[in-house]
Structure 1
Amino acid sequence: MFALLPLIMRGRTKLRQDEALVEYIPKSMTEPLNLGEIFPGSAPIEIDLGCGDGAFLTAMARGNPEHNFLGIERLLGRVSKVCRKVVRENLKNTRVLRIEVAYAVSNLLPADSITAFHLLFPDPWPKRRHHRRRAFTTEFLSCIHRALIGGGLFHVATDHADYFHQIERVIAATDTFVVPAEQHDFPLTTFEQKLLVRGLSIQRLLLRKASPVK
């Protein structure tokens, strides 16, 4: 766990004061986040895991002003871009946290606190020797389950067939999520738009938290 800290703490975004206020910098990188400090009030919180350029994050925030949205992103340049976009669009319900997604999910999110997670087009690490670097594992799914409120949603999408099969196997090995009956019309990520232009297929799962992890 602690080996990641030098990486996640290195460098700071160079932003105007109003843009810098969008980025949330925790007082501790080893204690659970104080979500009430990030988002005062009791509105539901959704998290975009690896929010990239913020296209999906900001579209969700615009379309769902009654919810709060936290984007988690490791790369400095992307965080800067998202912060500027949030200020430009005057989105008061959106914050960004710069940190590794897997670390945040495993260590920083309080139990039963998040209404929905979105994991969209995570790095598939296509070479077999790199598969162990993939974010979606049994442990990762367990941490997602722990952080979700009862009935919370986990939205996953990928364009990589082998990775999708791995995701399906991990989910099938548990009884903690079910596929909800209702359908959701989600906005597109920038990457997803490019895939559709090229005629490539996208695999998607929408899961609802069921029983507690045994």
Structure 2
Amino acid sequence: MTESSSENSPENSDSQDSSLENNTGPESQDAPLHRRGIKSYVIRAGRMTPAQNRGLDDVWPRFGLTIAQGRQDLDALFGRQAPRVVEIGFGMGNSLIEQAQTHPETDFIGIEVHAPGVGKLLDEVDKRGLSNLRVYREDALAVLEQCLPEGSLTTLQLFFPDPWPKKKHHKRRIVQPAFVELIRTRLMPGGTFHLATDWEAYAEWMAEVMEIAPGYANTATQETAPYVPRPTFRPLTKFEARGEKLGHGVWDLIYQRQD
């Protein structure tokens, strides 16, 4: 799969909870995923390099954030007023680092549960002298609910989340009505929710959820709807570049908060 944490190969084991088999459609809005105990990710063990350990041990105290800190004052956190971008599931962090370095006028917050990716990103933040990036190593839904103020974000990015391709695991997909409604409340009016996936069936699922979600408008033209051409501002990952050479598709969707 791709370089994002949620982009690790899907958890396809038949030992997963069989109670998921009978619900294959998008979830209702009345049950946030983490409250039901259903996670959209699986934390997989991975070896830590010295640089990754350095990121977690030495750089985390300066750039790491926790749910225990509660609701953030983002102006105070970054020491300025600026556009704010959150990326959920940044994997090894290459794309997020590139964005933060290319756009110093914008503040970025990454959310990732996998230690190697968090450590690598923090090591790069320090090496490159970046000051416009902060990191949560927490469940994204809890961060959105408990830590990020309403109407505070310019953009929320969800690139290549785990597609959970088996029907009995569709309940684990992060893109559900309750999730996209939570994101809408954290976006400022006019803010955008940008999704991307390399699984066509998941792209169709995303479009289905977003097209019926209240308070959003699709930014795609009639010619390409529901998808948009790959935006030049989304960094091209190595995985995606290899996939393009092999003829693999990638689908981008960008929706704007309308109220």
**Bigger relative contact order (CA 8 A; separation at least 6):** 2
Q: Which residue of 2 aligns with 1:198?
A: 246
Q: Which residue of 2 aligns with 1:134?
A: 173
- Per the TM alignment, residue 145 of structure 1 is displaced from its structure 2 partner at its CA by 0.3
From the superposition, tell whether residues 172 and 91 of structure 1 become closer, same or farther in structure 2 (CA, over 3 Å).
Answer: same
Residue aligned with 1:28, SS: helix
CA contact (8 A) 1:26 1:33 kept: no
| Aligned counterparts of 2:246 and 2:197: Cα–Cα separation in 1 | 15
Alignment deviations for residues 4-58 of structure 1 (CA, whole Å, 9 cap, x no partner): 9xx99xxxx84366522454233626x3233234322111110111111111101
| Aligned counterparts of 1:52 and 1:38: Cα–Cα separation in 2 | 23
CA contact (8 A) 1:179 1:208 kept: yes
CA contact (8 A) 1:55 1:190 kept: no
Alignment size in residue pairs: 204
CA contact (8 A) 1:32 1:109 kept: yes
The aligned amino acid for 1:20 is W
CA contact (8 A) 2:220 2:253 kept: no
From the superposition, tell whether residues 113 and 120 of structure 1 become closer, same or farther in structure 2 (CA, over 3 Å).
Answer: same
Q: Report whether the alignment pairs 1:78 with 2:117.
A: yes
The gaps in structure 1 that reach 5 residues or longer are none
The structure whose Rg is larger is: 2
Residue aligned with 1:15, SS: helix
The gaps in structure 2 that reach 5 residues or longer are 1-33, 44-51, 222-228
| Aligned counterparts of 1:165 and 1:106: Cα–Cα separation in 2 | 26
CA contact (8 A) 1:50 1:122 kept: yes
- Per the TM alignment, residue 175 of structure 1 is displaced from its structure 2 partner at its CA by 3.8
Scaled by the length of structure 2, the TM-score of the pair is 0.71
CA contact (8 A) 1:137 1:170 kept: yes
Q: Report whether the alignment pairs 1:67 with 2:106.
A: yes
The aligned amino acid for 1:205 is L
Scaled by the length of structure 1, the TM-score of the pair is 0.84
| Aligned counterparts of 1:168 and 1:181: Cα–Cα separation in 2 | 11
RMSD: 2.6
Q: Report whether the alignment pairs 1:107 with 2:146.
A: yes
